[in-house]
């Protein structure tokens, strides 16, 4: 394991849950410059402008209204309202003649109330159902993001319940979790849309593979299950080895180009997003927006050693 992975990464991820560092970071102009690289803005207008750019470049989008760890019910209701307004605005985006399913929203169940002490799971499910119904009517897809390991069982239970009414609701599975091959098997058999990522939270080796090598191997095993299965694999990775392996597996299992897609985050490897699109692959860009960007930013900084300098300079300024 590299020194960065063993020491710095867990420290940076711990900062995601530190209120004092969050408040300091949100005040500095330097942090704002770093944020702009990964988040196009705080308003719906900002995210719709970024969406337009991606659609015009031939890509699909998934929009995330930033927020997590909601501590009171009114905050969760505010998040639902933001998604309903967003879905309404997405329904008005002029048809560009490209395939259906180009517009998607991504949700975090903790932003919808999952961690509330009383009836959190029930509240989150009802909130997610309200958004899924509006999205369904507007022709917008929904995918439920993956958060920390402790919330995974409940999240997948909610996703199964949502899929009984809205078959297109997808979810994220994190290859670094030891459980994920089994989850891939279940969801691939049921024909689900599954976004496979490596995983971005600090997890214990008892539940997650501890090294990049083991995580990469696990990713490829999980991807093979999804590509072989009946669902719609969404390959959420910027890693060139995984991007190449995905096409090789799609060929092996005789998948057509419209039966799976690549996904990347806004601001990361934009050239590669364009290259894949030009090569005829489906590419979706995940675009976050909103004022609650701190946790998202910290996870992006923890993914790459070179990003650490930005973060430290931001805190010092």
Would you give the end-to-end CA distance of the chain in angstroms?
A: 31
CA proximity to 245, closest of 266, 219, 209:
219
Q: For residue 195, indicate whether it is catalytic.
A: yes
Q: Interface residues for ligand FDA in 183-222 (CB under 6 A)? A: 195, 197-201
Using CB under 6 A, which of 135, 300, 310, 311 touches ligand FDA? 300
Q: Closest approach of Cβ 200 to ligand FDA, in Å?
A: 4
Buried b (16+ CB within 10 A) or exposed e, 55-66: beebbbbbbbbb
Cβ 156 vs Cβ 171: under 8 Å: yes
Q: Closest approach of Cβ 304 to ligand FDA, in Å?
A: 4
Q: Closest approach of Cβ 29 to ligand FDA, in Å?
A: 21
Please tell me whether residue 265 binds ligand FDA under the rule CB under 6 A.
yes
Beta bridge partners of 62: 104, 286
Using CB under 6 A, which of 304, 309, 312, 317 touches ligand FDA? 304
Q: Where are the beta strands (DSSP E) in the chain?
A: 60-65, 103-107, 141-144, 170-174, 193-197, 232-236, 261-265, 283-289
Q: Closest approach of Cβ 216 to ligand FDA, in Å?
A: 7
Given the residues 9, 155, 195, 224, the one annotated as active site: 195
Pick the stretch among 14-22, 43-51, 159-167, 233-241 that binds ligand FDA (CB under 6 A). 233-241
Q: Interface residues for ligand FDA in 155-174 (CB under 6 A)? A: 172, 174
Pick the stretch among 5-13, 67-75, 132-140, 259-267 that binds ligand FDA (CB under 6 A). 259-267
Please tell me whether residue 303 binds ligand FDA under the rule CB under 6 A.
yes
* Residue with Cβ nearer ligand FDA (209 or 286): 286
Please state the separation of Cα 178 from the chain's center in Å.
19
Q: In whole angstroms, how far apart are CA 212 and each of 15, 175, 253, 262, 264?
A: 21, 11, 27, 20, 19
Output DSSP code: residue 196: E
CA distance 60 to 290: 20
**199 appears as a binding residue in the annotation:** yes
**198 appears as a binding residue in the annotation:** yes
Strands 232-236 and 261-265, by their bridges, are parallel
Residues that bind ligand FDA (CB under 6 A): 145-146, 172, 174, 195, 197-201, 236-239, 263-265, 268-269, 286, 300, 303-304, 307
Q: Which residues are annotated as a binding site for FAD?
A: 174, 198-200, 237-238
Per the annotation, binding residues are 108, 174, 198-200, 237-238, 299-300
Residues tagged active-site: 145, 195
């Amino acid at each position: 394991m590299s020194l960065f992975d063993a020491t710095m990464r867990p420290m940076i991820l711990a900062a995601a849950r530190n209120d004092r560092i969050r408040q300091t970071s949100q005040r500095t102009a330097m942090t704002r410059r770093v944020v702009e690289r990964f988040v196009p803005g705080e308003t719906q207008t900002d995210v719709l402008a970024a969406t337009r750019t991606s659609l015009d470049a031939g890509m699909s989008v998934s929009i995330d209204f930033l927020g997590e760890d909601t501590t009171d019910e009114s905050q969760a209701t505010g998040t639902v309202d933001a998604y309903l307004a967003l879905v309404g605005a997405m329904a008005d985006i002029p048809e560009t003649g490209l395939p259906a399913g180009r517009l998607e929203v991504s949700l975090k169940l903790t932003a919808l109330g999952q961690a509330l002490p009383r009836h959190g799971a029930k509240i989150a499910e009802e909130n997610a159902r309200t958004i899924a119904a509006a999205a369904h009517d507007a022709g917008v897809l929904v995918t439920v993001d993956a958060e920390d390991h402790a919330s995974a069982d409940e999240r997948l239970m909610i996703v199964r319940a949502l899929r009984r009414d809205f078959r297109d609701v997808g979810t994220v599975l994190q290859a670094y979790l030891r459980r994920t091959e089994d989850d891939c098997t279940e969801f691939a058999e049921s024909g689900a849309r599954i976004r496979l990522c490596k995983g971005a939270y600090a997890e214990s080796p008892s539940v997650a593979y501890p090294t990049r090598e083991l995580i990469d191997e696990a990713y490829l095993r999980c991807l093979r299950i999804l590509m072989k299965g009946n669902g719609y694999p969404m390959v959420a990775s910027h890693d060139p080895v995984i991007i190449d392996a995905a096409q090789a597996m799609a060929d092996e299992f005789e998948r057509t180009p419209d039966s799976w897609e690549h996904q990347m985050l806004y601001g990361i490897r934009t050239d590669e997003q364009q290259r894949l699109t030009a090569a005829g692959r489906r590419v979706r860009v995940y675009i976050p927006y909103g004022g609650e960007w701190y946790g998202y930013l910290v996870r992006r900084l923890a993914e790459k050693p070179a990003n650490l300098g930005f973060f430290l300079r931001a805190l010092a300024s």
